[in-house]
Structure 1
């Protein structure tokens, strides 16, 4: 298709050249005429009697408008569309710290899709994966971004009307950064910095300077979430016990003095201030109010309220109201649930997004973003987040949103079938798991990695016919693969995962039952099945590797290789143990003599198979460390 764009093109010309090639559209003077107007007001896209117009306020609105025009032009002769942005900022936070570090090319592809969706902000979450020249071990062998790479990302984003905001940590979540000897004098615990130590603030100034300089923006996210052990390590030894809010405020003031020095506007995760909101909080006075001296002691930073766990709208509304007690309207961070295990938890992502976005609109929240965390190895490809990004985008431009509406837009912006992507959630949302997987069972990860002889989760999955579930799922994912040629590699990987689990899911249960009956002939038949699993797990590894190296830097894949390798190698030992027993060289297989108990770890839940995605707790009941 050829288009002839005229009018207010100066703010979008460079970005237009970036996206136009991927849209199979040519810009030509003999193309279909489209008048472009930049003005205040809603996004307006129309086509009537051979004349078209795209009116926009911000450049990001134009790129969404261009996508809307092309989508509707292919289906309708005439149309007149208006959209009113519900938020002044709506964006994405991409985790580049939990093993997978997206390549520059992959970030650019995400930025292009965000532009068509109309999402205007991208944060790269980097705990230690950015270069700090004063500290060469910071991010060493972790795929850290150079300053030049970050600047290139920012240069690319600005052409599309997208603001990139550095997103780092300046108190906790720094385990990988602090594990080297250079940090021994300024860490409180393994992952928290030592407050009030001068070297801490020298270190942080180096980090803040390095993280912010490549970007045009003056905003910076400095983290500070989940520091539950704050003041309980080396700080306790040096200073004695002190309330964590007081330590937090004092530290934050010192960090803000650094951001002030570089003329930066900081934001932090707000969860460490949640004790202030509790009804029986010791920080409230006799009238139930937070005293003025506590309120004024909190430094001037923007607060980011994160919540991607609840489906009740009123929970978000109440928490927004609590934040307003601190004297400001918070920023909201939701989640795409890319960290459930190996597959996305679309059920929970949609349920929580719908509730949270409704609450944001009701409570007047103006800035929102969706997090793409990669907990415990980033085994789920971040590309699976795109349907949820589309949902966030539709909520950004409409007061009311339907999944049907989201699906139509995703077919254009994401080049995929929304319903086909939803099939993937069945890899975890299995028999025995509640609807929408609200308790975050990661069935597929557990069943892939758990040991066949030890079977820590066999008692949880017994009687659920999971092998049959996965066998049926193979054909469903195969159909989805053919429906989504753009995402063939992704669906091919998940098809192979379902295929592996159709056999591996229950083989440990079967082997235990046959062993208990002392059925030697039946036990022999399992040796071929074990060979098949070994071969197909290796094939799964190869398909996963293909996706990884298409999107991420190589650093981090070694962890995933080791995990797959553990499954493959352990099967060798399983076969060895069975063969020794069959040959009479051992009188018992001790692993199979043990009674199977339900998994009762700290993540265990009532409704679902298991509620935690930590690899080392899946593979052994012993002490395991990579």
Structure 2
């Protein structure tokens, strides 16, 4: 469509030119006229009497309004729409630290999608995947971003009215950085920095300077979450035991002095202060209030409350009230559940987003974002997060939101069918799993990687007809592939995953049953199926590889290659073991002689939960490195 966008467009002109192709528009003075006004108040998109109108406050509101205008022009022609933003900040945190490091081009693609959704902030989570020139091993062979790459992303975001905020770790979650010998002097435990060590703060100053330098913003997220072993490693040896709250506060004070030095405004994850909230906490006074000296000892930082687990609004409300005791401002972080394994957990993502966003609005939370984590290798493509980002965006501009409304907006802005995407959750939401997969079953990952002869999860799935479930899913995925041409490669990958699992999921159970009957003829009939699995897992690997290299830097794919390679190679050994038994060269297949037990850790089996998202615990009862 040819448009003549005129009026108050100086703050959005560059971004408009950059986003025109995505929106299928051509900018021309001969095009359909849209008059633009930049003024305080709601965003507005209207069309009447042969010309359009857009009113916006922040640049990001212009891009959302333009998307609304185009969507309704194609449907209604005449309309007058307005929206009131519910939050002062609403954005995305993209995980670039779990092997998948999105390329600059892929980040730009995400930024364009965010702009038309109206999401105004992108936090790039980098534990060690950014360049710190003083430490050559920091992010070595991990696809770390150069300063120039980060600056390019930030410049692009700025044109679209999106603020990019660096997100690093200043205490824990630094296992990959601390594994090298050159970090020995600043290491407390395998993934936590050594508090009170001067070299630690020299290191952190270099990190803070390097991480913030490419960005225009003065905000920075410095992490500090999940440091449960703080002070229990080298610190304990050097100084003796000290309570984690005292260590946390003292360390945070020192880190804040560094952010102050560079004129930065820090935020941290709040979970390490959760012990203060307990009713029986020793940090409360006789009236049940957190003691004043404790509150006074917490440095002046913004607290980010992360929670993507509960589906009850009241839980979020309670914790928001707790946080108000500790900080002037609380920020909320929800989750898109891109880290369930190989497929997104849309059921849990929607349930938790609906509950959390309602609580945010009720409790007056002004800043929110949704996380795209990539735990255990980032096997789920981050692009699967788009339906949840769309839901998050609609909550950002409406007090009440329906899935039907979200689906319509998703169809226009992302050129995909929402219901087809929702089908992906059925790869993990299988028979035996509770509705919406609230207990986080990773069925597809477990059954792809688990060993046919060892079968650590065979007892967990026995009697659930899992293979039949996947078999029925294959033609539905194939249809979804045809329904969504812009997303063809994504659905092709998941169609192939369902196809592989329709055969592989229960084959270990069947082989053991046949072995126990000593039915040589039936056992021989399994050999072609093992050949088929071997070939089709390799095809699945190739499809996954195409998606990876289209979006991410190459570093990290070697891990996924090794995982697929393990399945393929083990099939060869399974066939070898069966042949040896069939030909009488061995009297027993010892792996099949073992009694099958239900998997008992590290994630307990409850309410249909099948497995945990940790590769090395799925494939063997042995170990990889000790």
Alpha-carbon separation, structure 2, partners of 1:334 and 1:360: 11
CA deviation digits over 1:434-486, x for unaligned, max 9?
A: 00000000000000000000000000001011111001000111111101000
1:319-398 pair list within 5 angstroms: 319-398=319-398
Alpha-carbon separation, structure 2, partners of 1:14 and 1:121: 18
Partner of 1:438: 438
1:500-539 pair list within 5 angstroms: 500-539=500-539
Tell me if the contact between 2:37 and 2:54 (Cα under 8 Å) persists in the aligned partners.
yes
Asked whether 1:245 is paired with 2:235, we answer: no
Partner of 2:177: 177
Tell me if the contact between 1:616 and 1:625 (Cα under 8 Å) persists in the aligned partners.
no
Deviation at 1:30, TM superposition (A): 1.6
Partner of 1:417: 417
Tell me if the contact between 1:128 and 1:177 (Cα under 8 Å) persists in the aligned partners.
yes
CA deviation digits over 1:142-197, x for unaligned, max 9?
A: 00000000000000000000000000000000000000111001110000000000
Deviation at 1:211, TM superposition (A): 0.1
Partner of 2:27: 27
Alpha-carbon separation, structure 1, partners of 2:202 and 2:114: 36
Alpha-carbon separation, structure 2, partners of 1:26 and 1:90: 29
Alpha-carbon separation, structure 2, partners of 1:414 and 1:178: 40
Alpha-carbon separation, structure 2, partners of 1:36 and 1:567: 57
CA deviation digits over 1:219-278, x for unaligned, max 9?
A: 000000000000000000011000000000000000000000000000000000000001
Deviation at 1:326, TM superposition (A): 1.1
Alpha-carbon separation, structure 2, partners of 1:157 and 1:135: 28
Deviation at 1:329, TM superposition (A): 2.9
Partner of 1:198: 198
Partner of 2:568: 568
Tell me if the contact between 1:439 and 1:605 (Cα under 8 Å) persists in the aligned partners.
no
1:450-461 pair list within 5 angstroms: 450-461=450-461
Asked whether 1:407 is paired with 2:407, we answer: yes
Partner of 1:119: 119
CA deviation digits over 1:500-551, x for unaligned, max 9?
A: 0000000000000000000000000000000000000000000000000000
Alpha-carbon separation, structure 2, partners of 1:509 and 1:590: 15
Asked whether 1:316 is paired with 2:320, we answer: no
The answer for unaligned runs of 5 or more in structure 2 is none
Asked whether 1:596 is paired with 2:610, we answer: no
Deviation at 1:49, TM superposition (A): 1.5
Tell me if the contact between 1:394 and 1:401 (Cα under 8 Å) persists in the aligned partners.
yes
Give the 3-state SS of the residue equivalent to 2:75 in structure 1. Answer: coil
Tell me if the contact between 1:461 and 1:609 (Cα under 8 Å) persists in the aligned partners.
no
Tell me if the contact between 1:441 and 1:609 (Cα under 8 Å) persists in the aligned partners.
yes
Partner of 2:541: 541
Partner of 2:304: 304
Partner of 1:263: 263
Partner of 1:54: 54
Tell me if the contact between 1:45 and 1:68 (Cα under 8 Å) persists in the aligned partners.
yes
Deviation at 1:6, TM superposition (A): 1.1
Aligned length: 626
Alpha-carbon separation, structure 1, partners of 2:327 and 2:373: 29
Deviation at 1:602, TM superposition (A): 2.4
CA deviation digits over 1:105-140, x for unaligned, max 9?
A: 000000000000000000110000000000000000
Alpha-carbon separation, structure 1, partners of 2:228 and 2:22: 46
Partner of 1:482: 482
Deviation at 1:322, TM superposition (A): 0.2
Alpha-carbon separation, structure 2, partners of 1:522 and 1:609: 32
Asked whether 1:226 is paired with 2:204, we answer: no
The answer for unaligned runs of 5 or more in structure 1 is none
Output the TM-score relative to the length of structure 2: 0.99
CA deviation digits over 1:592-618, x for unaligned, max 9?
A: 000000001121231123252000000
Partner of 2:293: 293
Alpha-carbon separation, structure 1, partners of 2:497 and 2:542: 11
Deviation at 1:31, TM superposition (A): 1.1
Deviation at 1:327, TM superposition (A): 3.6
Alpha-carbon separation, structure 2, partners of 1:65 and 1:273: 40
1:122-133 pair list within 5 angstroms: 122-133=122-133
Deviation at 1:28, TM superposition (A): 1.3
Alpha-carbon separation, structure 2, partners of 1:329 and 1:213: 25
